[in-house]
Structure 1
């Protein structure tokens, strides 16, 4: 039987990527159960909000096509369409807010699962245990994510390079908050200390894991692109009504592709453990301290005298 993966150990680039998939494979059922149980409602809300948003966009596109084909190309028609697009700002804000909540809860869920897995001695935690952690860390991680998001946006505006440099550091800060139960100030300083002299390795691992997740998620977006082109080609009112269920189904399938973000989140945790082991060796010290205190595992029956 394959031994459960040890988190607290040093790894090179290939080992981090490989162990990401080993961990997901070994914990697939309990990990997905925790994810869909805790994040499922937000996942559904995101699918509904984005479906309504897409239906509104398709409807406006049909109106523009109809106006351009007839006599509605006047200033008043253009003003009306501009006003309607402006009315959609509320929908975009709602979609953005739900998305932020979903990504925050997802990040806490996966990192909490990993934290509990380590605490329990490489044993998968229950969904109830993960939920307790999610409730505990939610406000702290949400506030920290907003601050770090603003910092990252500022870095992107400043010639892009500062934003790229901050990208892996912001991820580590959030990982420290959950995996070490740390306040934001401590996690902020620790994130910079951990990544010193290891920026390229951490960035490379997160970039590759994100790229794999992104390419995999593209498969889920294909149905949505098909319905989008269909709605662009068919501009009748009947098609607007008949396409509503199809839009919801394809959007839901696309949203389900977000589950692949589990991959870079597991990679982020493994990068954190790799950095802490490189600098502190806490996992190695714990294993040394356990020598002579644990009984060897054996399938042999006890000796009888």
Structure 2
């Protein structure tokens, strides 16, 4: 039997991915239960409005094929924005649920967290995490604009040069900052820290660990994308491609099944969040050796307790 994962220990690139997968395998029942209860509402909302959106797209195509010359409504209405909102909320909920589960697991020294315990963390951090996500998004907008400026200048010379310059000036900074800030929420939830302190510690922990973190993210993205394809390809085959290319010809049953599958498959968000939490604990251990000190102090504390108990028994005798 594989022993329980000790989160606070130093790991290399391969060990982070391996231990993240082992952690999920060992605790999948508790993770799925917490995920279903705390994220189920947002997944259900995403399914409902995705179905309504698909039906609206189908009706819009039918109207356009009718050629009546009447006003054709846009498919981007309230349904579209509700899908976006529920998708955003589900990202927050899944991040909070899995991160809280891992943090409580670490505090309980490998014991399975209860849903009630995870819910306590969930409601405590919900608004802080939501506000931080919005703030990070707002901070990214001017950064992207600044990165695009060189490409805009090069467009006066050559469109090809502008495209190449834009690719370099946008992709490189984006990859760098996304890798650094991937540890943002593990730090915030793991240490109950503020936005500013969390932002600064991301750069501190990532120092000399950028490439290994990028590798972890890259491998996990491939795994997650593969799972998405396993759900998307059968739907594409069943519908004969009409769901993608000719959505006005697809049956209602296929639309409903497709929307349910593509919403439920978001459960694979457990994998990247768990991987980043394992990476966070590994990097903290490299920098601060908290886990090592705990393991050193535990036998000393146990011996002290045993000596105290022995003294007590001797006095009673």
For this structure pair, what is the TM-score category when the shorter chain's length is used for normalisation? 0.7 to 0.9
Match of 2:282 among 262, 267, 274: 274
- Rounded Cα–Cα distance in structure 2 between residues aligned with 1:122 and 1:153: 41
In the TM superposition, what is the alpha-carbon distance from 1:122 to its structure 2 partner? 1.2
- Structure 1 partner of 2:306: none
The answer for the alignment partner of 1:193 in structure 2 is 204
Deviations 1:45-94 (A, max 9, x none): 10111111111112212222332xxxx4xxx55xx22xx11x62332222
1:293 and 2:301 correspond: yes
The alignment's TM-score, normalised by the length of structure 1, stands at 0.85
* Deviation of the 1:234 alpha carbon: 8.1
CA displacement at 1:229 relative to structure 2 = 2.9
The gaps in structure 2 that reach 5 residues or longer are 148-168, 304-317
Q: How does 1:97-116 map to 2 (within 5 A)?
A: 97-116=85-104
Tell me the C-alpha RMSD between the 2 structures: 2.0
After TM superposition, the structure 1 = structure 2 runs for residues 162-241 of structure 1, keeping only pairs within 5 Å, are 162-225=173-236, 226-227=238-239, 229-230=241-242, 233=246
Give the alignment of 1:1-305 within 5 angstroms.
1-67=1-67, 72=68, 76-77=69-70, 80-81=71-72, 84-85=73-74, 88-157=76-145, 158=147, 159-160=169-170, 161-225=172-236, 226-227=238-239, 229-230=241-242, 233=246, 243-294=251-302
Which 10-residue stretch deviates more, 204-213 or 19-28? 204-213
Q: 1:104·1:142 contact (CA, 8 Å) conserved in 2?
A: yes
Instruction: Report the more deviating stretch, 280-289 or 88-97.
Output: 88-97
Contact 2:57 2:248 in 1 (8 A): no
Q: SS at 2:48's partner residue?
A: helix
Number of residue equivalences:
278
CA displacement, residues 192-235 of structure 1 (integer Å, 9 cap, x when unaligned)? 11111211111110121122111111111234434383355585
Corresponding residue for 1:301? Answer: none
Mind listing any 5+ residue stretches in structure 1 that lack a counterpart? 296-305
